[in-house]
Amino acid sequence: MRNTFLAVCAAVLLTFAPAAAARADTLWVTTLEAVLGLDPVTLEIRRTIPLRKELSGALHLLPTPDNRTVYLLSGGREVVSALDLVEGKVTASWSLSERMGEDPDAPRIANARFSGIAIDHAGKRIVGNIVTSRRSGTNPHQLERIGVDAPYLAVLDAATGKRLATISGAPWATSFIEAMRDPAHPNRFLVISPDLDIIDLDRLPAGKAPVRATFEQVRVKHVPLREPYMAGQGPVVILTEWFHPEPSGGLGSTPYYTTDPIVEKDQMGVVTMDLVTSKVDVLELGPVQGPQYAFSTVVAPDRRRAYSVFNQLHEIDLMKRKITRIKDLPYTYYGANMSPDGKLLYIFSGGARLARIDPESLDIVKEVELPSEAWDILTLPD
């Protein structure tokens, strides 16, 4: 009888015992002056990590595998910084820009800007597309000639910033780089320009760093968009500033526009890129809808829906290949991302506003005004 009584008591205690705490997440946001840590639901600011003046204007968030360190692109796209989210401080930063001589106050002769940047899944190497504007002249204090070098990819040691490789002949107008997720090819990267390319760092030559290679040497796949394979199809135009494949487990997406060569009217669609299989899909969605020239898209974890954002929010059924719902927005938003479980949809940039949307109703559930404009957002576990 005593054992039965103890068993009943134990069952009652288990019934009323608090459930195990769910994993805590933080919504990290880059702004002009700081990196902010927000509550993913209430959008209240939990942490503020200020950035030094020379690091202002932080852009993309590139997390390392432990999610403790993120790499930032800042300083007018010239500075890469490692930010420890636990300690709340920048632990390292470097730039590929050049001065005339070793004096830190010497005139700047070359401004090297990153127009695309990614970190490998091991957190050890950074790949960036570099466009350099270079000044020259006879008087070091009055450099009157300005030229632009051909773009190249730089492979950098993530710990030291040391250049490991230089890849010449990178596509002009490269706007984004993303690490692929193919376990059989862990060193491949997607390079997004007006076209799509996949490169493999395993194709770099052996030798003392920095090694040199051409883009053609490391490229393993090319998907033309400006001049499609299909005869009579208009050129597909993409400009990717935000590319978030995290919620969908590696299905990246970007909006596109084209002009139908027969009826001469603008058409819109979405290009999806599977970072595991390398499959590229161009979804035609028909005529442009009102004021909606979308700036970014994000795919839900179920991979059946995508959302595009600008002056409107569009829900896109990827299976049926059509727009299913349209919601007018009170303001213009450029970027979009989702929580890992797909229950929270965020729209941001285009100002200091950040909004959380219910993906089921497409209604804005919460909207806040941040201290300054947000550029990138990413949910990371604490």
162-219: pLDDT as tens digits: 999 999 999 999 999 999 999 999 999 999 999 999 999 999 999 999 999 999 999 9
The type of residue at 246 is E
What is the reported pLDDT for 289? 76
What is the reported pLDDT for 142? 57
- What is the model's pTM? 0.88
Assign 149 a pLDDT band (cuts: 50, 70, 90).
confident
* Count of helix runs (H) and strand runs (E) in the chain: 2, 30
Query: Which positions ≥6 away from 52 have C-beta within 8 Å?
Result: 90
What is the reported pLDDT for 23? 58
pLDDT(34) > 90: yes
The type of residue at 75 is G
Tell me the backbone φ, ψ of residue 218, rounded to 5 degrees: -100, -5
Mind listing the pLDDT tens digit for each residue in 243-257? 999 999 999 999 998
CATH of 96-223, one of 2.60.40.10, 3.60.15.10, 2.130.10.10, 1.10.10.10: 2.130.10.10
Q: Which residue from 301, 316, 186, 195 is spatially nearest to 251, judged by alpha carbons? A: 301
CATH architecture for residues 234-348: 7 Propeller (2.130)
Alpha-carbon dihedral sign for residues 252, 255, 257, 260: positive
Q: Are 180 and 192 in contact (CB under 8 A)?
A: no
More confident residue, 319 or 144: 319
Equal fold, 96-223 vs 234-348: yes
Mind listing the pLDDT tens digit for each residue in 50-106? 998 888 889 999 999 999 999 999 998 999 999 999 999 999 999 998 877 666 666
Assign 341 a pLDDT band (cuts: 50, 70, 90).
very high
Cα–Cα distance for residue pair 224/281, rounded to 1 Å: 12
Every domain of the chain and the residues it spans = 96-223, 234-348
